[in-house]
């Protein structure tokens, strides 16, 4: 949902693209946003229903995106960065960001097939370099740790496919036989049986893939409904299963390196990553009540809510509105920027000025800048996600951003 030229949204009645509509009427975006983002919506809004692991990937920062697009426009179709936010609609699991270094060292010591792939010399070098400095906050230690992590990870990613496939057979056999003792009983974040089941499951989808070993470097995260996480540009991740709302800067650039038959660019991936390492708790978001909405009495009495997910970038924020009774109403104050609204459960009505529309699950609406928007439920559970951009105004002025 958005104006990206790869697949711009279209008006249902006229079949005109949203890109054409906002270019013809700059006021729909606001003059400031139209000027800054070249008459295009600054975000892409998606619903992903993941039944098979998506690729191990990262999205380039702005400078790298410009270079990749100039060099290879077929595989890198635009010159923009792509930080993104994920909100769980159903229980979700994925691999996101590098694990704490102690966990990686534990797996190098307790997963023989992983250690053999990386090589004894490279594994020992990593263990010696980070030992005693794993959680140091000194800048020189952090830089040294990141360099060591890059070396070890690159040693894995650059192995040839036949070597990886042979090691994967040993890994899967261990996962099938060892149960809770697999991978030295797991690490602080994940149990041995949990990791064994994950290896077996992923091998069933991508047999012998390097991703089976990448999971020992990355945080394995589970999100419950309503939980969210934010990924900066250059952060490595792979979404494994679940239904999610995803919002990102308007880009279609993906650097892939596993769990995919698509184009893979391992040299770019291993050189571009930040190699930041931290527990997944540091990537999870802390949503807050959205302050610029008024709920009617029915909404209050049914414990309805409007929750703001506000990442540390200006291109987008998302509000999840949950109306829990028929007649519950949420009135959103006008903002100086565009919004896209999608219903993921239930039914109701949307009103913008004199225009009223029926809303059902899967319906999507664009709301232009400076327009008050009213949502009203005609079911017992009405769930709506609203992505929006506002460069200046209440969110910034009141310190919410």
Tell me the catalytic residues.
Answer: 256
The CB density around residue 191, as the number of other CB atoms within 10 Å, is 16
- Rounded to whole angstroms, the Cα distance separating 310 from 304 reads 20
- Looking up tokens 């990206």 gives 4
CA atoms within 13 A on the CB side of 318: 30
- Rounded to whole angstroms, the Cα distance separating 326 from 298 reads 8
Element (H, E) at 178: helix 161-178
CA atoms within 13 A on the CB side of 344: 22
The answer to whether residues 35 and 215 touch, using CB atoms and an 8 Å cutoff, is no
| Per-residue CA distances from 262 to 1, 53, 54, 171 (Å) | 23, 13, 11, 24
Question: If phi over 0 gives left and psi between -120 and 50 gives alpha, with beta otherwise, what is residue 77?
Answer: alpha
- Rounded to whole angstroms, the Cα distance separating 300 from 324 reads 9
What is the residue-wise DSSP string for 235-304?
Answer: --EEEEEEEEEEEEES----EE-SS-SS---HHHHHHH----B--GGGTB---EE-SSEEE-HHHHHTT-
């Amino acid at each position: 949902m958005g104006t990206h030229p790869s697949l711009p949204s279209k008006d249902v009645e006229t079949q005109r693209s949203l890109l054409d509509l906002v270019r013809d009427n700059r006021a729909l975006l606001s003059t400031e946003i139209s000027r800054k983002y070249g008459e295009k919506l600054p975000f892409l809004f998606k619903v992903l229903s993941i039944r098979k692991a998506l690729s191990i990937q990262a999205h380039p920062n702005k400078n790298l995106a410009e270079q990749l697009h100039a060099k290879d426009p077929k595989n890198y179709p635009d010159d923009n960065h792509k930080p993104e936010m994920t909100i769980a609609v159903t229980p979700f699991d994925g691999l996101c960001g590098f694990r704490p270094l102690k966990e990686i060292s534990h797996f190098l010591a307790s997963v023989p097939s992983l250690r053999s792939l990386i090589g004894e010399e490279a594994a020992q070098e990593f263990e010696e370099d980070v030992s005693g400095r794993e959680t140091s906050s000194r800048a020189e230690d952090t830089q040294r740790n990141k360099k060591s992590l890059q070396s070890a990870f690159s040693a894995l990613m650059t192995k040839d496919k036949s070597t990886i496939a042979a090691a994967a057979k040993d890994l899967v056999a261990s996962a099938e036989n060892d149960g809770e003792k697999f991978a030295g009983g797991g690490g602080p974040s994940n149990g041995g049986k949990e990791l064994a089941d994950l290896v077996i499951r992923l091998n069933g989808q991508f047999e012998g893939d390097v991703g089976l070993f990448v999971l020992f470097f990355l945080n394995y995260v589970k999100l419950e409904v309503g939980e969210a996480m934010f990924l900066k540009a250059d952060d490595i991740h792979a979404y494994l299963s679940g239904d999610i709302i995803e919002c990102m800067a308007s880009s279609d650039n993906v650097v892939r390196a596993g769990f995919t038959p698509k184009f893979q660019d391992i040299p770019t991936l291993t050189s571009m990553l930040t190699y930041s390492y931290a527990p997944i708790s540091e990537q999870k978001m802390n949503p807050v009540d959205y302050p610029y909405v008024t709920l009617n009495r029915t909404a209050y009495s049914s414990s309805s809510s409007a929750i703001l997910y506000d990442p540390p970038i200006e291109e987008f924020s998302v509000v999840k509105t949950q109306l829990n009774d028929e007649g519950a109403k949420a009135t959103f104050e006008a903002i100086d920027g565009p919004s896209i609204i999608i219903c993921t459960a239930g039914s109701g009505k949307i009103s913008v000025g004199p225009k009223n529309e029926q809303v059902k699950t899967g319906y999507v609406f664009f709301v232009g800048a400076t327009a008050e928007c009213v949502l009203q439920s005609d079911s017992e559970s009405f769930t709506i996600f609203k992505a929006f951009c506002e460069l200046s105004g209440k969110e910034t002025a009141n310190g919410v951003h």
